[in-house]
Structure formats: structure tokens, C-alpha cells
């Protein structure tokens, strides 16, 4: 049992925290959110310079291979900053899929570009359910025909490479599709948390046989989504830390009845409860990180479901109480509280909702 981090992991966290503290103030984020793209390529390039986009690339592929713990620490700091950049989608999930599934040629072609930030890739699949394929792939005329549609794919609108998960005749495949390919329709829109997402429609898309990434993909897709879930949990923990700190600071400074409202016991106990929720959530974030690579799949799934469900409940409690304790100010767009609140809402609903995960956990531990 050891809850410490290695020097390298600590350095990665410090680097990310310093970066967002100096370059990603709330005002900067606000300005970035208002741009057409809704995220910053400049920030992305700086993240690449710091090596943050290569932490999920193995050393033999030229990456930093920081593993789940390193990813957890980076994702936590980015979550605390409410970052709008496609770190989770491209630098964690898509990078994972290519690293674990891609041929040597594909890895050599894409991984360096992903690490340098020149290429953005997004896995196009139902992130809540690895078994559900929204697309069909048929092998024909020396290539593949892809059909299907999926809504609300985070950051798919800016991806240079769409990694489409499709059901093949005999299993599951991942197919690399560029958005310019005829029949590919990607329409971007905003998500409630300020990030961008897109609806992806593939209408009779024909691609070369070489566009299939590796072979049977169900295992690597599931592994990548599990790594993504662990990172998302850490992202949410970062948002919880931010929103609780903001709430404590606000109730200490807001004076009513001649005294800071934070001196009232009713509010103090609410914040104590928020802290307990957050520390329980932190424990579960650690669990998700430790278990997301467990080769024992039922054990892994049980742990990840428990982590997501408990953290979803914590996110909802902490988010709602933070808005409540900020009073009218919590309702405004002006403060970071409402933005963190919305990021937590997205966390609760993404990657299998809190209820779905709890039901799934129940099937594992109670009914089984």
C-alpha cells in the first residue's frame, strides 16, 4: 500500500499545474470558449511542448509512457482548470487505441503527430458502452464500406482522424477515416460544459483496406475507454476541488447579518459534507486509475462502475451545494462556479450515467 507518487509523476503534475496557473486563468478560458472553435490551438501546442500529449504513447513509439497514474495527475490539473482542449479524447483515448491496436506502420505514422499536437484523433464510439457499435463495416471491392451515425462525440469536429468503431462481419473493427472523405458528415455543436462535440454521420463511406486499424478491436477499444474513464474521473475530481475551494472562499468573504456566512453552522456542515464526498471521490479516482488496466475484466468492471457511480453522486452533491451556497452569484455565467457545475453535470452523464453504473455495479456485487 503506497499513496505516494514517483518523482516523475510529481513533476508531471507540477508542470501541468504551473502551466494552467500561468496560462489558463478563468478569463483566458472564457475568451477561448467564445471563439468559433471553442478551444485553443495555441494552448494545445504549448501542452505538446510540455510533453503532455505524449504521456499515453509508449517509449518504443517515442512517447513518455506516464501510465494511468501520470494521466490521472495531468487530467486532474486540466479538470481543475476546466480546460476546453481535447486532451482526454485525443491524447488519452485515441492515442491508446492506436498504440494498442495499430500496426507498426500506423503507429509510426500517427503517434508522433499525436504527441506533437499536429494531429488530433477522436475515437467515434459510444463511450458509455464498448459493446455497442453505432456503425457497420462491410468488406467490399478491396475496401470497407461504413454506415451509421452517432451523436455527441466529444471533439469529433476538430479531429483530423476519426477512429470509427464499427461492427464487422465477425467482430469489431476500428477504421481510420478523415473528415474530408466523401460521405462523412461531422456537425459540431457545444456541450453544456463548454467543450465541443459533434454528430457524426457516415453515409456510404468507402475507405481503403489499409484504413482498418489493426485487427479485432473490441479489447483495445474497451481498454482505451477504461483508460478514458479513469482520466475523466480525475478530471471531475479536479473540478470538485475547484468548486469546493471557491465555495469556501466565497462563504468566508460574503458578509450578511454582519458576519461572513461561512460562520453559520448550517453552511459549515454542508461544506464538511462536500469535503467528505470529495475525499471519497478521490479514493475512487485512485481506484479507477489502479484498476483501469487490470487484466481481470470482471474485477476491473466492478471497480470502474463503483468509481464512476460514487463519483457521479459526489459530483452532483458538490456541484449543487456549491451553486446553492453561492446564492444568486452561483446562478451567473460570470463566476467559475457555474462552469465547474456544468462540467460536473457532463461528467455525471458521460461514460455511462451514475444510475447506469450503479445498476451495473449492483449486478456484479449483489445479484451475482
Partner 1 sequence: MDLDFSPDELAFRDEVRQFLATSLPAEIRDRMRRADESHVREDILAWQRLLHARGWGAPAWPADFGGTGWSKTQQYIFENECSLADAPMQLAFGVKMVAPVLMRYGSAEQQARFLPGIIEGKDWWCQGYSEPGSGSDLASLKMKAERDGDEYVLNGQKVWNTLGQFADWIFCLVRTDPTVKPQKGISFILVDMKSPGITVRPTRLLDGTFEVNEIWFDNVRVPAENLIGEENLGWTYAKFLLGHERTNIAGIGASKRGLQRLREVAARLARNGRNRLHDPVFATRVAQVEMELRALEITNLRVIFAEARNHAPGPEASMLKIRGTEILQRISELHVDLLGASALGLDADGDDEALQATRAYLNLRKLSIFGGSNEIQRNIIAHMILGL
Residues of the shown chain interacting with partner 1 in the complex, contacts defined by CB under 8 A: 1-5, 9, 69, 248, 251-252, 262-263, 265, 268-269, 271-273, 275-276, 279-284, 286-287, 289-290, 306, 309-310, 358-359, 361-362, 365-367
Residues ≥6 apart with Cβ < 8 Å to 159: 86, 89, 90, 94, 120, 121, 122, 179
Give the nearer residue to partner 1 in terms of CB position, either 9 or 56.
9
Give the nearer residue to partner 1 in terms of CB position, either 280 or 320.
280
Smallest separation (angstroms) from partner 1 to the CB of 267: 8
CA dist 256 → 56, 243, 253, 264 (Å) = 49, 21, 10, 10
Distance from C-alpha of 343 to C-alpha of 351, rounded to nearest angstrom? 14
Letter string b/e over residues 108-139, b meaning 16 or more CB atoms within 10 A of that residue's CB: eebbbebbebebbbbbbbbbbebeebbbebee
Smallest separation (angstroms) from partner 1 to the CB of 278: 10
Q: Tell me the Ramachandran region of residue 203: left when phi exceeds 0, alpha when psi lies from -120 to 50, beta otherwise.
A: beta
Q: All 3 cell numbers of residue 79?
A: 479538470
CA dist 238 → 80, 122, 306 (Å) = 4, 23, 19
Smallest separation (angstroms) from partner 1 to the CB of 352: 14
Smallest separation (angstroms) from partner 1 to the CB of 116: 29
Smallest separation (angstroms) from partner 1 to the CB of 292: 12
189 φ, ψ (degrees, to nearest 5): -155, 170
Smallest separation (angstroms) from partner 1 to the CB of 6: 9
Give the nearer residue to partner 1 in terms of CB position, either 46 or 280.
280
Q: All 3 cell numbers of residue 186?
A: 461531422
Smallest separation (angstroms) from partner 1 to the CB of 279: 6
Distance from C-alpha of 81 to C-alpha of 17, rounded to nearest angstrom? 9
Give the nearer residue to partner 1 in terms of CB position, either 211 or 278.
278
Q: What is the CA radius of gyration of the chain?
A: 21
How far is Cα of residue 264 from the mean position of the Cα atoms in its chain? Answer: 37
Amino acid at each position: 500500500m503506497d499513496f505516494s507518487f514517483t518523482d516523475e509523476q510529481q513533476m508531471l503534475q507540477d508542470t501541468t499545474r504551473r502551466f494552467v496557473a500561468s496560462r489558463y486563468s478563468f478569463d483566458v478560458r472564457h475568451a477561448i470558449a467564445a471563439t468559433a472553435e471553442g478551444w485553443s490551438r495555441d494552448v494545445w501546442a504549448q501542452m505538446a511542448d510540455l510533453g503532455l500529449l505524449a504521456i499515453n504513447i509508449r517509449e518504443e513509439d517515442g512517447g513518455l509512457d506516464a501510465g494511468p497514474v501520470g494521466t490521472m495527475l495531468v487530467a486532474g490539473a486540466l479538470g481543475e482548470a476546466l480546460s476546453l482542449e481535447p486532451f482526454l479524447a485525443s491524447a488519452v483515448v485515441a492515442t491508446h487505441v492506436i498504440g494498442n491496436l495499430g500496426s507498426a506502420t500506423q503507429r509510426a505514422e500517427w503517434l508522433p503527430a499525436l504527441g506533437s499536437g499536429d494531429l488530433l484523433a477522436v475515437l467515434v464510439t459510444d463511450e458509455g458502452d464498448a459493446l455497442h457499435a453505432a456503425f457497420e463495416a462491410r468488406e467490399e471491392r478491396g475496401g470497407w464500406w461504413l454506415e451509421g451515425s452517432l451523436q455527441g462525440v466529444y471533439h469529433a469536429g476538430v479531429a483530423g482522424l476519426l477512429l470509427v468503431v464499427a461492427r464487422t462481419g465477425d467482430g469489431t473493427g476500428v477504421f481510420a477515416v478523415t473528415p474530408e472523405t466523401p460521405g462523412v458528415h461531422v456537425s459540431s455543436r457545444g456541450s453544456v460544459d463548454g467543450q465541443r462535440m459533434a454528430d457524426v454521420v457516415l453515409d456510404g463511406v468507402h475507405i481503403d483496406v489499409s484504413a482498418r486499424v489493426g485487427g479485432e478491436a473490441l479489447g483495445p477499444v474497451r481498454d482505451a475507454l477504461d483508460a478514458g474513464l479513469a482520466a475523466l474521473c480525475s478530471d471531475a475530481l479536479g473540478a470538485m476541488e475547484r468548486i469546493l475551494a471557491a465555495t469556501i472562499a466565497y462563504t468566508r468573504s460574503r458578509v450578511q447579518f454582519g458576519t461572513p456566512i461561512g460562520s453559520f453552522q448550517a453552511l459549515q456542515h454542508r461544506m464538511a459534507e462536500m469535503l467528505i464526498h470529495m475525499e471519497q471521490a478521490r479514493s475512487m479516482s485512485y481506484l479507477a486509475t489502479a484498476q483501469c488496466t487490470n487484466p481481470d475484466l470482471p474485477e476491473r468492471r466492478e471497480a470502474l462502475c463503483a468509481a464512476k457511480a460514487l463519483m457521479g453522486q459526489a459530483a452532483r452533491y458538490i456541484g449543487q451545494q456549491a451553486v446553492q451556497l453561492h446564492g444568486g452569484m452561483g446562478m451567473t455565467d460570470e463566476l467559475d462556479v457555474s462552469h465547474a457545475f456544468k462540467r460536473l453535470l457532463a461528467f455525471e452523464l458521460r461514460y455511462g450515467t451514475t444510475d447506469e453504473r450503479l445498476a451495473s455495479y449492483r449486478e456484479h456485487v449483489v445479484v451475482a
